[in-house]
Amino acid sequence: MRIFDPHIHMTSRTTDDYARMAAAGVAAVVEPSFWLGQPRTGPSSFTDYFDSLVGWEPYRAAQFGVVHHATIALNPKEANDPRCRPVLDLLPRYLDKDRVVAVGEIGYDSMTPEEDDAFERQLALAVEHELPALVHTPHRDKAAGTRRTLDLVKASGLEPGRVAVDHLNEVTVGLVHGSGCWMGFSIYPETKMSPPRMVELLRRYGTERVLVNSAADWGVSDPLLTLETAREMLAAGFDEDDVDQVMWRNPVEFYGQSGRLDLSAVTGAAEPTFAGSSIKRGGE
Amino acid sequence: MTPPERLRAALRDTPHAAWLEQALAEPGRFTRSFAAAGRRTGRAPLPGAPGWTADEAVRALLLESLPPGRAAAEAHDLYRHGDADEKRAVLKALPMLPAGADALPVTVPLLRDAIRTNDARLLAAALGPYAAHLDQAAWRQAVLKCVFMGVPLSEVDRLDERADAELAAMLAAFAAEREAAGRPMPGDAAALLGRLTGDRTPEET
Ligand SMILES: [Zn+2]
């Protein structure tokens, strides 16, 4: 089984996690930039973090045979802090990097005017840099936040197929399903979504435009819940191909829209690359 | 041939040469072209330029094209905001930068930064010909770090010319530590120590 975790914060995880993930078949990850738990107080702590997402972390992942890409953005929570907002002007430089495959995580935390502004500006950056967008939905007032998210996405001019709306649940999935955006689900040990509930949603909504992630970070989380969800799918009667679609081909298709997804280390150069994700290799 | 001429020759008749030409024709997009080079040319080794990949070669030639007054500052900026591949390309391009000795206070700190990292690719790239500008103490520490991190000593430019008694003493101490731990000394480091102390090592007999 091959697994692509489309949303996991490896910076907060240990090398033991990388080793266990690789052994479980997690061969590729995307690490969205996000909040670190401790508030940052200025743009340079963001850029040091971004540098690590495009420098040290892919190198660390590669030691374990895991391919690492990143998404870059000012997260919604810190968009409210005037000390952090100047980082918005520094984003374009990072959005040009080879291993940056989306703008994200953007979206809402408390739905303030500051968040509206940062969200809007960063959707525009996604259009300008020809990148997809990864959108976080709020933990509180989730349904309202999701509706407002979809309105803003619609107004941005970014194609719905280039947007993933993440951390969905039974209440919000229907809204996103109808919008044409990708539906992201974070499988958590306690909160958000569990493997059995996820399987139920896959039954109801199908396996297309679905992204399943562990969103593992510095909180209570488990980088192997993608694998557990895959097993739960098989036990519920989905076949290997369904599992491969959800756990591998879907994230490849979504992030492949960046034109920057380089999975040659995993797939071998001989394997045909996915439409839109092919990287022209030297001399070819 | 100078190193840039060698890279240009290796790129000739590849699609990368056309892309490079296009990038050079748009100086206003210099930073964006530098960042995009990896996905435009791929990262495969460049036949005709041993030790260079296609993206490194076009990035080095982009840097080499800069006006002398701006080259060092631009290299510094590209390194500071670069991903690991960009940083490595800057380090490898330093010897061909159109900049004189007055640039050293700007460029040598890049080597020192790379040596401080734990990224073997950056460490190796910092020990190319430009490492001639590192003082001997920093250079010795960097060589020892290569041994620690498993970077082959063949990556170190002018190794035998520059290796001295002090480095021999450091390597001998490292060998003693390794022996106490029951771990082998890397073959190339043992061989270097042998050459420095006049002992024959198993690799050489
Ligand atoms: Zn997250």
Does the structure show a pLDDT above 70 at A52?
yes
Distance from CA of A94 to the nearest CA of B (A): 8
Interface residue A129 vs chain B (CB under 8 A): no
Query: What is the ipTM metric for this complex?
Result: 0.88
Q: What is the predicted pLDDT for the residue at B13?
A: 86
Nearest to B51 by CA among B139, B156, B179, B204: B156
> Could you give the percent of chain A with pLDDT greater than 70?
94
Average pLDDT, chain B: 94
C-alpha A136 – ligand 1 centre gap (Å): 7
Query: Strands A26-32 and A3-5, how do they pair?
Result: parallel
Query: Which tokens belong to A95?
Result: 């959005």
Which residues in chain B are contacts of A259 at CB distance < 8 A? 39
C-alpha A74 – ligand 1 centre gap (Å): 12
Q: What is the rounded average pLDDT of the residues A83-92?
A: 97
Which residues in chain B are contacts of A99 at CB distance < 8 A? 83
C-alpha B15 – ligand 1 centre gap (Å): 39
Distance from CA of A178 to the nearest CA of B (A): 34
Classify each residue of A120-156 as buried b or exposed e, where b means 16 or more C-beta atoms within 10 Å of its C-beta.
ebbbebbeebebbbbbbbbeeebeebbebbbebbeeb
Interchain proximity B83–A54, CB inside 8 Å: yes
Which residues in chain B are contacts of A93 at CB distance < 8 A? 31, 35, 81
B 171-200 residues with CB below 8 A of A? Answer: none
pTM: 0.91
Interchain proximity B84–A59, CB inside 8 Å: yes
Map residue A32 onto helix, strand or coil.
strand
Nearest-angstrom CA–CA distance, A245 and A164: 16
Q: What is the predicted pLDDT for the residue at A282?
A: 30
Interface residue A52 vs chain B (CB under 8 A): no
Q: What is the rounded average pLDDT of the residues A48-60?
A: 97
Which residues in chain A are contacts of B39 at CB distance < 8 A? 98, 259-260, 262, 279-280
Tokens 């660390």 belong to A60
Tokens 């890409």 belong to A69
What does the domain layout of chain A look like in residue ranges?
3-267
How many CA atoms, within 13 angstroms, populate the side-chain half-sphere of residue A75? 19
DSSP result, B8-60 = HHHHTTSHHHHHHHHHHT-GGGHHHHHHHHHHHH-S-B-TTSTT-BHHHHHHH
- Between A1-10, A266-275, B25-34, B76-85, the lowest mean confidence (pLDDT) is in A266-275
What residues are neighbours of ligand 1 (ion), with CB under 5 Å?
A 34, 215
Using CB atoms, pick whichever of A55, A59, A283 lies closest to residue B44. A283
Q: What is the predicted pLDDT for the residue at A284?
A: 27
> Could you give the percent of chain B with pLDDT greater than 90?
93
Distance from CA of A40 to the nearest CA of B (A): 19
What's the first-to-final CA gap in chain A, in angstroms?
30
Is B3 exposed, middle or buried, given 0-12, 13-18 or 19+ CB atoms closer than 10 A?
Answer: middle
Interchain proximity A284–B42, CB inside 8 Å: yes
Nearest-angstrom CA–CA distance, B55 and B11: 11
Q: What is the rounded average pLDDT of the residues A69-86?
A: 97
**Could you tell me which CATH number the domain at A3-267 has?**
3.20.20.140
CB of A190 closer than 8 Å to CB of A220: yes
Interchain proximity A56–B117, CB inside 8 Å: yes
Highest-pLDDT range among A144-153, A270-279, B194-203: A144-153
How many inter-chain contacts (A to B, CB under 8 Å) are there? Answer: 66
CB of B153 closer than 8 Å to CB of B114: no
Q: What is the predicted pLDDT for the residue at A272?
A: 34
Distance from CA of A122 to the nearest CA of B (A): 18
Q: pLDDT-derived band of residue A267, with 50, 70 and 90 as boundaries?
A: confident
The CA-atom distances, in angstroms, between A186 and each of A86, A162, A176, A240, B48 are 30, 19, 15, 21, 48
Which residue in chain B has the smallest CA separation from A284? B15
Interchain proximity A93–B45, CB inside 8 Å: no
R_g of chain A, CA atoms, integer Å: 17
Residue range B99-126, pLDDT digits in tens: 989 999 999 999 999 999 999 999 999 9
Using CB atoms, pick whichever of A54, A58, A282 lies closest to residue B42. A282
Query: Which tokens belong to B99?
Result: 């900049």
Interface residue A55 vs chain B (CB under 8 A): yes
Nearest-angstrom CA–CA distance, B205 and B191: 10
Interchain proximity A93–B81, CB inside 8 Å: yes
